[in-house]
A and B are shown apart, each in its own frame.
Chain A
């Protein structure tokens, strides 16, 4: 499968199954698009008609065909998808848990409008996770992780720092068993920034592999969607704190992350605002919301958002030249490295390798399913008792979805988000089309940026 597109003057040919990326001239671009459908003579004839003879001699045409054949010979063009059977078998293997999302606080000190957790409460009572429950969760993780060495634990909420004491104790507990159990915990934390202070920042810098700091961008945008409980905006309260945190981490191993909605389709301005404030690691993403909400992203918003991604990509090229660039998380793609095909095609691992734990110790397939009773998997005491749900998630992969099989982005996307699929179609094996359109655009931009490097 070959996918071609033109962006920013680059003619890009992506050989999907091998992952190869070719940047070509426009004649080669045309030849490749006809290559499988037409004979060599017909293609030559067509391009002779299209391009004037002084631009394109017969020798050039021969050269084009020979270069294309060279690529095919090297297995970088028109390669077949030979993965399906292996991936389907791979998905049947016994899985181990390697990551937990610990909801240490179902409570929040902000009142963000789009919060999928319902201001932290997740359809339940306000509550904090006790140390005992958290400890059992870590034990559960260690026991169910097989030979995996690296275990991820994300402190999440609500606002996790509302339960900072428990976090400290849990990290200490984790560190105390690492050696004996031959595991390595990678702790991360997602916070709205309100409770950051010197003590917290020092602790985070010592123990957290990554810290995610929420802010939406420009003050008026942030303050509309991220008000405090008293209705006032949160921007002024948090900006200096998250700046301090980012700087103290030497602008590494953290992200500022924002959400954009129907109300700021020019979100690229928010990204640039954050960059201008000095942040080097930035992620701003489309909200996932019930289409009935006034801030939900609609199909008719797509052209505007797509333009926003294009503007942002152009700006990144410009800033890179000026030595003033930053990382936009969604345009990061590692063409030379990156994970193996198994990982790329088998999805996020929700419900199998990745689970969410509520303050009460209940297990759910991921943070987005918390509070949806029908997805309750079990609890940290007795482990997974609802294997039917687990097996349903186990099946998720690119090959479980028709739409993904023919999608050029499958090796970069891995089949989308089960929760998005569920909330948009009532089926975790569906795809969320709006999300797909944006995902594909981001992959195109990311690859174009590599071509421009």
Chain B
């Protein structure tokens, strides 16, 4: 495409199929812990 540059992203819909295993890290968002956006975490179930 010439006018739309689409960045490579994980397709979120696909992750509904085998996701939800719960092995990933917990993700506190508050300032007193180093908080994170969930989106910077990694998936343990690749």
What A residues does B39 contact at CB under 8 A? Answer: 333-335, 338-339, 344, 411-412, 443, 446
- A111: interface (CB < 8 Å): no
Q: Is A417 a contact partner of B10 (Cβ separation < 8 A)?
A: no
Instruction: Using A75-B13, A348-B27 as known contacts, say yes or no to A450 and B40 having CB atoms under 8 A apart.
Output: no
> Complex: how many Å from CA A329 to CA B8?
21
What B residues does A414 contact at CB under 8 A? Answer: 27, 29, 38
* Number of CB contacts from chain A to chain B under 8 A: 203
The SS class assigned to the A binding surface is mixed
Q: Is A98 a contact partner of B26 (Cβ separation < 8 A)?
A: yes
What B residues does A416 contact at CB under 8 A? Answer: 29
What B residues does A419 contact at CB under 8 A? Answer: 30
What B residues does A259 contact at CB under 8 A? Answer: 31-32
> Complex: how many Å from CA A288 to CA B15?
33
Interface bits A343-382 vs B (CB < 8 Å: 1, else 0): 1100011100110000000000011100000000000000
What B residues does A333 contact at CB under 8 A? Answer: 37, 39-40
Q: Is A336 a contact partner of B9 (Cβ separation < 8 A)?
A: yes
Q: Is B9 a contact partner of A90 (Cβ separation < 8 A)?
A: no
Q: Is A18 a contact partner of B26 (Cβ separation < 8 A)?
A: no
> Complex: how many Å from CA A305 to CA B5?
30
Closest CB in chain B relative to A47 CB, distance in Å: 12
Stretch at the interface among A35-43, A102-110, A146-154, A198-206: A146-154
- A24: interface (CB < 8 Å): yes
Closest CB in chain A relative to B23 CB, distance in Å: 6
In chain A, what residue has the closest Cβ to B19? A340
Closest CB in chain A relative to B37 CB, distance in Å: 5
> Complex: how many Å from CA A82 to CA B16?
10
What A residues does B11 contact at CB under 8 A? Answer: 18-20, 75
* Interface size of A as a range: 35 or more
Instruction: Using A336-B10, A367-B32, A420-B30 as known contacts, say yes or no to A148 and B23 having CB atoms under 8 A apart.
Output: yes
In chain B, what residue has the closest Cβ to A415? B29
Q: Is A24 a contact partner of B5 (Cβ separation < 8 A)?
A: yes
Stretch at the interface among A66-74, A244-252, A400-408: A66-74
Q: Is A212 a contact partner of B34 (Cβ separation < 8 A)?
A: yes
Q: Is B7 a contact partner of A21 (Cβ separation < 8 A)?
A: yes
What B residues does A90 contact at CB under 8 A? Answer: 20
The SS class assigned to the B binding surface is loop
- A49: interface (CB < 8 Å): no
> Complex: how many Å from CA A20 to CA B1?
15
What B residues does A255 contact at CB under 8 A? Answer: 34
Q: Is B7 a contact partner of A348 (Cβ separation < 8 A)?
A: no
> Complex: how many Å from CA A384 to CA B18?
30
In chain A, what residue has the closest Cβ to B16? A341
Q: Is A339 a contact partner of B41 (Cβ separation < 8 A)?
A: yes
- A190: interface (CB < 8 Å): yes
B2: contacting residue among A67, A83, A339, CB under 8 A: A67
Closest CB in chain A relative to B7 CB, distance in Å: 4
- A243: interface (CB < 8 Å): no
Q: Is B31 a contact partner of A348 (Cβ separation < 8 A)?
A: no
A348: contacting residue among B9, B29, B32, CB under 8 A: B29
- A269: interface (CB < 8 Å): no
> Complex: how many Å from CA A338 to CA B1?
26
Q: Is A99 a contact partner of B26 (Cβ separation < 8 A)?
A: yes
Q: Is B9 a contact partner of A83 (Cβ separation < 8 A)?
A: no
> Complex: how many Å from CA A19 to CA B7?
10
Instruction: Using A99-B26, A150-B23, A288-B30 as known contacts, say yes or no to A21 and B3 having CB atoms under 8 A apart.
Output: no
Closest CB in chain A relative to B43 CB, distance in Å: 5
> Complex: how many Å from CA A432 to CA B27?
17
Residues of B within 8 A of A (CB): 1-13, 15-16, 18-20, 22-46
Given A412-B37, A417-B28, 7 additional A-B pairs, CB 8 A: A90-B20, A98-B26, A212-B33, A255-B34, A330-B37, A338-B43, A341-B13
12 contacts between A and B (CB under 8 A): A18-B11, A19-B10, A20-B11, A27-B3, A90-B20, A190-B33, A259-B32, A285-B34, A287-B31, A337-B42, A339-B24, A412-B37
